Amino acid sequence: MNIPADLKYTKEHEWVKIEGDTATVGITDFAQSELGDIVYVEIETEGETLDADEVFGTVEAVKTVSDLYMPVSGEVVEVNEALEDEPEAVNQDPYGKGWMIKVKMTNPEEAENLLTADQYKELIGQ
C-alpha cells in the first residue's frame, strides 16, 4: 500500500498536500483499492466555501458509492476536470493524476489536525 510520507491524511481516507494556503485533495491508495473500479467522480462544489468535514463530492465505483469530505475549511478553487473522462485515474494514480480538488484554506492552522503518514498507516492497520 502506497502512503507517501510527505502528505497529510484524514480518517475518511483523503490525502492532502499543503502548499502555502492551498490544499490539494484526493483519496488514498487504500481508499481506491477498497472502492474498486471507479467509474464516476461527481464534484459540483467548485467556487463554494465549505467547512472541514462537509461533503464536497461523491465517488462512484461500479459496486459502491462514497462521499468525499473536506479535510480542511476553504473555497474549492479548482476541480480536476480530467476525471470526467478518465475517472480510472483515481485507481491508477491516486496521488497524481487522480487528484480531485484544490482548496484555498480559510484557516491554514487546521492542517495541523490532519494525520501524518504514520498515523494513517496505523489507522488502516498497515
Partner 1 sequence: MEVSEDLKHIRLEKKHADLGAKMVPFAGYLMPLQYTGLIDEHHAVRNNVGMFDVSHMGEFILKGEKALDLIQRVTSNDASKLTDGKVQYSCLPNDKGGIVDDLLVYRINDDKYMLVVNASNIDKDWDWISKHNTDGVEMENISDNTSLLAVQGPNAAKALQALTDIDLSGMKYYTFEIGTFAGVKDVLVSATGYTGAGGFEIYFNNDDAEKIFDAILEEGKKHDLKLAGLAARDTLRLEMGFCLYGNDIDDTTSPIEAGLGWITKFTKEFVNSEALKKQKEQGVERKLVGFEITEKGIPRQGYDLVNAQGEKIGTVTSGTMSPSLNKGIGMGYVKTEYAKPDTEIFVQIRKKQVPAKVVKLPFYKSK
CA distance 39 to 91: 10
Nearer to partner 1, 21 or 60 (CB): 60
Q: Which stretch binds partner 1 (CB under 8 A): 17-25, 54-62, 97-105, 110-118?
A: 54-62
Beta bridge partners of 34: none
Whether 40 contacts 48, CB under 8 Å: no
For residue 93, state whether it binds partner 1 (rule: CB under 8 A): no
Per CB under 8 A, the list member of 12, 21, 46, 58 interacting with partner 1 is 58
Nearer to partner 1, 63 or 96 (CB): 63
Sites of contact with partner 1 (CB under 8 A): 36-37, 39-40, 58, 60, 62-63, 65
